[in-house]
Structure 1
């Protein structure tokens, strides 16, 4: 079971996605009706494609409609901004001296390109509650990985 926490920005993006999916669904239904009117549906590629697209849209809409009411928006900074909590941007130093930066977000906001990792991930669980200069050991498939916390911030 994934956690129900989400940032304010993440909630906005999910609501926006739901609205866009509903608009796209209207277009797909119109295109599906037009394709169905062309006759034999068994060999109508447009009809088959639109049916599949409609199923995928409906699946995502149902998921979002069920998930959004359960989400809890975390929209304030913690009292101790030096410790790592939800929504923190954390800069870690690896053993070789290189640095990586991650932001701890809800499972609905994961985006590795932006450095967003889930609060449910092993790395995030290992970081929670820690502060700058702490050493964090995280078990990964290759063995144990050691990180040093270089910076903690709560700016987006």
Structure 2
């Protein structure tokens, strides 16, 4: 498989996403620009598809399973009741920072989950995923380049 597709598909891995794809892309010899482009696309596409599919899937589960209906009703009510005031105030900043922070468990998948739980408008959430993923990619690239530079000092 071409390295570009390897990076693209690896970036689709939920919660590892770009954090795994960028180092691999650089290791496979891709340029920084290609690595960021393929890793960013691979990270954003599943988040956008997942966010778009979440409502129909949830509606199907609620309609066909009384247990899932009770669970999802509880989950949405509790989450929104406990966190909606602070989330409404900082909604965009929170999602952006969650996606932009290059740590395990953060990223576009986590952002999509939070956006769905709180009912964030689709295109607003997607624009935050895109911006956050680009910032995350640049932070990762800077960190990786710094590590490479430091290790070359000691070799």
TM-score (structure 2 length as normaliser): 0.33
Which of the pair is proportionally richer in strand?
1
TM-score (structure 1 length as normaliser): 0.33
Q: Which has the larger radius of gyration?
A: 1
More relative contact order in 1 or in 2 (CA 8 Å, sep 6+)? Answer: 2
